[in-house]
Amino acid sequence: MTGETILIVEDEGLIALHLTELLENAGYNIAGPAYSGERVLRDIASAPLPDLILMDIALAGSLDGIETARQIRSKYPIPVIFLSAYSNQNRIDEAHAVSPFGYLTKPVMQDDLLAAIRGALDRTAA
């Protein structure tokens, strides 16, 4: 058990359920999952801050994952790993602008995901 808490922000239910089971099975505590940027920004201050945020770029609501991450990052030093079905370079460039700790393209491979999470948590801890 690693014990770190990961906030999953994903509007697609089956993917969110899959990620939740996968990360819980990997020993992480799961916060959420949240399905919109607005709800994340509203709820983040009322609960213990997660250690990492796994953020889908395309979200329900008016805020996308990049903007949500930028606002969170402007206030909290929480590492963010983007998940996206997009492989468009422009979107990737936009995501990099908020200094993410990883950018994974769906469908994501289990090992790649866990490695990216582990690396991000370790870099943050360092």
Partner 1 sequence: MTPQPDSSVSQPSGTPTGTVGIDLREYLIPLVVVIFVTVFLWLISLYNFALYHTTVEFTTIAISVAIFLLVWKSRKIIDNNYLLFIGVAFVFIAILDYLHTLVYQGVGIFPDGGGTLSTRFWIAARYMQAITLLVAPLFIRRNLRLDLVAIVYLVADIIIISSIFVFRVFPATYIEGLGLTPFKIVSEYVISLLLIASVVLLYRNRDAFDRQVLNNLAIAIFLTIAAELTFTEYASFVDVFSLLGHVFRLLSFYFFYRAIIEVGQEKPYNLLYHNLTESEKKYRALSELSPDAIIVTRDGLIRYVNGAGLLMFEGSGTDSIIGKDFMDFIDPDDRAVSAIRITSVQEEMGNAPLRELRVIAGGKSIMAEATEGPISWDGKDAVQIVIRDITKRKIVEEENLRAREEWERTFDTVPDLIAILDTNHRIIRANKAIADRLGTLPEKCIGNLCYETVHGTSVPPEFCPHAKTCTDGKQHICEMDEPALGGTFIVSTTPLSGPEGNLIGTVHVAHDITDRKRAEAELLEKNRALNTANEELFEIHEKLKATNEDLVANEHLLVVRNEELTSLNEELTAAQEELHRHVGELNRREEELRQNESRLKDALAEKEILLSEIHHRVKNNLTAFISLLSLDGTYEKTDAGQALRKDLQNRARSMALIHETLYRTGRFSSVDMDVYLTTLIGQVAGSYAGNIPVRTLVDAKGVVLDLARATTAGLIINELVTNSFKYAFPPGFDCMAVRKEPCTVRVMLAREEGTYCLRVSDNGCGMSPKIDIASTRSLGLKLVNFLARHQLRADIEISTEQGTEFIFRLHTINEDT
Question: Are 58 and 82 contacting, i.e. CB atoms less than 8 angstroms apart?
Answer: no
Any contact of residue 38 with partner 1 (CB under 8 A)? yes
Per DSSP, the residues of 72-92 read HHHH----EEEEES---HHHH
Give the C-alpha separation, 8 to 11, whole Å: 10
Site for partner 1 in 39-68 (CB under 8 A): 39, 60-62
Shortest approach of partner 1 to residue 6 CB, angstroms?
A: 16
Q: Give the residue with the Cβ less far from partner 1, 19 or 108.
A: 19
Contact positions vs partner 1 (CB under 8 A): 11-14, 16-17, 33, 35-36, 38-39, 60-62
